[in-house]
Structure 1
Amino acid sequence: MTNSSRAKLASVALGALVTACSPQTAPTSGDARLHLAAAPEDFKTLGIGTEIEVREDGRRTPKTSDYFEWWYFDGLLDDGTVVVVWFGDNWLYGSQKRAVDFELTPPGKPTRRVMRTFDDPGAFATDQANIQIGPHSFKGNLQTYAIHVDAAETGGVGCDLVLRRRVASYRPATGYDEVGDRFFAWLVAVPEGAITGTLTADGVTRQVTGSGYHDHNWGNVSPADLFDNWWWGRGQSGGHTIIAADIHGKAAVGGTDIPLLFVADDHGVQVNAYGSDLTAVASGPVRHPDPNHERPIDSAVSFATADGSRAEFKISDRLLTSSSLLSDQSFVKKAVAAIMSMKPWYSRFVSPITLKLPGESPHEGEGTLEYFELK
């Protein structure tokens, strides 16, 4: 998934509030438990192999209201600024609109977010990532991406960024979390890459450099129908890129937990583990740093493999985003949520990361960590 949360989105997830208060439906066919599609026949059915192809970052879904799709980017710039961009189709799920979201968080300052929605169908290539929504574009071929958010259309914030991949593209098995004929899919086209280009804010354009990430999600069901919550994190530690997620399925789809861990550098992959090959353990609980978030939150989540590889992501007081996912919803949905004791929330933190690989001393690093609560 997704992200990183990834999401993850999900990271990704703030502009993507699904109908968390809607009734849950039973699986329609096939395996009634949420699972990561990883069998040889799954690859064959989906028409993909173990090697990731450029076309996999192109449009993967029919253009109907039954499917959604988005392309996500985040970057940690050398001056400490965090920038997030995503391009979505039929997202919010069921909206039948195209959306472009831009978030900018300078060091020590609150996140500035601009979201634009479009009725125009946009343009989405299938042979590679080549998305045009209004005057905004997201184009690339796994190796190099150009991301343009037009500041003139957004009211003064935007970017012209180039992302050059330094770590090989990744997906866990097929990347499809599925139950019956419903699925949520995830491809990490750029686990880590070099960022160059410009950011614009309030009419001022400046050159920037940093480290970035890009993933791609699509599916045919609201995530709220599949997941109770997920952790997703990504970052760097000791010269390694780390991507991790811990996805918790709803009781209606078996209550499955799907942990994922990927560790790589520019020389190769050190860890690519998921499911039963991996253990994810949360630490805590502690008070959420946002006083408006009433429930305790885990202080950290760690991922461990049988051979001794371990990665730990911690929350921090540096909140990039913290928001109730009901804030923009109707009175009726808020009332239903209150009756059902549901408090869906999205949090994204700057995260300290500790990585321990077999035969090596622990490495300390930094990244982003999101927690997406759907109940």
Structure 2
Amino acid sequence: MNTPLSVVIGAGGTGGHIYPGLALADALRRRVPDAVISFVGTERGLETRLIPAAGYPLHTVDMIPFDRSLGAKRFTLPVALLRSGRQCRALLGEQGAQVAVGMGGYPSAPVILGARLAGLPSIIHESNAVPGRANAFAARLTPHVALAFEASGAGLPASSRPEVVGMPLSGPLARLDRAARRVDARRELGIPEHTRLLLVNGGSLGAARLTEAAIGLAERLRHRDDIRLLIKTGPAALDTARARLRLTGADRIAQAVAYLDRIDQTYAAADLVVCRAGSATVAELATIGLPAVLVPYPHAPGDHQTHNARTLTDVGAGVLLRDQDTTPLSLENVAGSLLADPVRLRAMGEAAASAGIGAHHRDAADRLALRVLRLAGRTATLTTVHS
């Protein structure tokens, strides 16, 4: 009897690590339907909601972030890492794992350490243009490294053997044709014809700066009939945002939501997005050709969101706006001028495709799955398999 393929994926914290991990899991399942795939995370991240909702089991370990803001608690990191690494070694044995994968973020480092302790092959995927602390550490424990962006290889140990595979995207996003879906998507969202839709997306946890500026922009534009705003606030800020929109009458043109359950539908309907510059978001925008105003999170380690954003802004597919400069007035000036210029919007949407920076993300999940299968001793080809 053949032993079922078993893969354990470490991914947690924010959607920027979790969604690519889920895309990889789906790609593995498409190729090996009876594969046993499970995830490792912690109790504090979005993984507790997103991973079970996607139908995959989640195992949690006692790990803390690689974050200097923890104060004195950061000195307990080596103990937490060793403890959680031992937990992962035991879990890998229980799952009969043949390969461990770390998708970045602090929950993935113990998985790679656990694989090293168990003598199992492992691979990490670095999603940012500047490697995160967890992956910079994990890359010392495995020679197998996959990159979303070529630039991130410069920040990894010389012993690593990085390969650019792109950012794993879910099937609906990887296959999204915005132009073909636009009419249906806008009808489903109730966006009137000849109305511009501005999406303000603060990321998986929301972004207070972007939400505040978007609400102020909606208040300034509340008498307009040619613009609609869709504001993703995250769950914590939703009630306050909705109350403010109602109070000023801005709910006439703006809607606040906690989550975007159909991000492909929203992207197809939108004319422009204002967003952070997380690696997954940047890869999505490059792949589907959605023009963007990018507001990098200013406290990201190594300022990696600015480096991520430049992959779009350097080719004319996006506009950079500093966090401290993001106000209702600046959004009106920047986003408003773009929405009033359909020729420029079209050129921005085509820029990423013309530069070729989005094409390799479409099949990234399959390329990464191929590397995982090879480490497990399975033969596979790069032929994309879509459900």
- Structure with higher helix content: 2
For this structure pair, what is the TM-score category when the shorter chain's length is used for normalisation? Answer: under 0.3
TM-score with structure 2 setting the length: 0.25
Which is greater in Rg? Answer: 2
| Greater fraction strand | 1
